[in-house]
Each structure stands twice: as structure tokens, then as C-alpha cells.
């Protein structure tokens, strides 16, 4: 299974029409951890200058 960096690189290099989906589900153990993961994810997407590849949704 690819890690997030590999997933973004593959999407940027080979994908021109389909958006990537990355789902973060908070757990009962630590909702704060989900917030940290989401923040790091956004930072990485911005690092790759790839916000157009994302489909964003909030639950």
C-alpha cells in the first residue's frame, strides 16, 4: 500500500482528470490526532502544489 507521499506523486504525474480521495476518520481514542493528521495532510498537499487534485468534504 502506498504512503501519502507516493499517492500524491502518482496522482500528480499520471492523473489529469480524476481527483484523489483521502479520508480521515477520528476515533474515540483521540479526535485530536485526526486533527493533527488533517493538518499535516494539507501541508503536504500544499508542499506538492496539488490542491486541485483533491475532493474536499467534511462530515
pLDDT digit string, tens, across residues 3-54: 888 888 887 887 777 777 777 777 788 888 888 888 888 888 888 887 776 6
Q: Residue 54's pLDDT is what?
A: 66
C-alpha cell at 24: 480521515
Give the ranges where 1-59 is alpha helix by DSSP (H): 4-14, 31-47
Phi, psi for 20 (deg, rounded to 5): -90, 150
C-alpha cell at 13: 504525474
pTM of the model: 0.65
Q: Residue 19's pLDDT is what?
A: 72
In a domain, 31, yes or no: yes
Q: Residue 7's pLDDT is what?
A: 81
In a domain, 58, yes or no: no
Could you give the number of structural domains in the chain? 1
Residue 15 domain boundaries: 4-53
Confidence of residue 58 (pLDDT cuts 50, 70, 90): low
Amino acid at each position: 500500500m502506498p504512503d501519502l507521499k507516493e499517492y500524491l506523486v502518482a496522482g500528480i504525474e499520471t492523473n489529469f482528470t480524476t481527483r484523489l480521495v483521502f479520508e480521515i476518520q477520528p476515533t474515540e481514542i483521540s479526535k485530536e490526532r485526526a486533527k493533527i493528521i488533517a493538518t499535516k495532510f494539507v501541508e503536504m498537499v500544499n508542499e506538492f502544489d496539488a490542491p486541485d487534485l483533491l475532493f474536499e468534504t467534511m462530515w
